[in-house]
Structure 1
């Protein structure tokens, strides 16, 4: 566990700077206050992409040689990398969801949007259904960020340069598999979505978080099976 924590600390030190943190925190803030759900999406996508900078910097700096020389196992390195994304997204999601809820409950969002004559958007962002509540939107962004962390698998095995083509192939394969499963099992997707909409927004968020964490575990296991006989990058 200590090695995993140290790897996460090193990754954070490597790719972060005061300027980037300040820009990442303040730039989307107006969107978060005026249109909380939209702001949450921006924040979550930014923090969910953290792993990308880690791998780019690692490849350029020869981190594979460093980790290979240290008493760090591949399991620990993989665990650290696949813990980073959900951890950052959960922390960021909790903070921005709280701020978004405050903006809605105190009327900031509605007031600001109406002051620039965007009454329809004011209603859209503040009189939402449970499925569009800030916490539900954050949950959906979380599961999407966890899905995109399959690129960590690609980076571990083939390197950052192969992200593009393999990500396209992987996404199309997932879509084809989903279509095949739906066709074989005759699942009524529309009815399932209607059922989801009836849930309380907190339950919706919990479902999405569980889905995201399951994806992370699957990607981590597959990654280890793929690179267990390879040298660290």
Structure 2
């Protein structure tokens, strides 16, 4: 119960990595509020709508007595080379994945500034630092999240607010399942994704959530402005074939 009584806001908390984070934080004793467009969320909010985020953060803070931790997990995927998506899709993905992090963080900051244990954890990706095929737009968005994390950490460290990010490899989430379902051979495509990671398997959402929990907890009090890879070794290992 290392986070007993602390209040956590999780965008995109109704499914995938966000839902796994909600379960982990609740098990650690935190008061969790999920913010999502899904009806399953605790508080209805859209990261593309600043007013909805401000209203949801205010309601969450009023319900639980503040906000100590923000997890920016909301995000969408994109497939294709640099010419593979039109301007509308570029704007949509960047709006959710990058500006959405900025909006949610801005909405939570008035409450985080009142906390003695304030932390922001952003969800980045292996594609922020490693080039993977057919991920141009998604990589651009997550590279921006990585850079934004460093900038936010620099701006907020003097206020005692830590900012870090977690960079997963390919995670076994509903989005990946939908992506695989559109291929001619879903099982074969999933095996290829698993083989790409040195561990030979996909990362689980719970493993990513465990890393988020670690960075948000008291054991990481001296850690800010860094990215923690949870990618099965993909970012650092080069194994013989």
Scaled by the length of structure 2, what TM-score is found? 0.32
Instruction: Looking at secondary structure, tell me which structure has more strand per residue.
Output: 2
Scaled by the length of structure 1, what TM-score is found? 0.32
Q: Which has the higher contact order (CA 8 A, sep 6+)?
A: 1
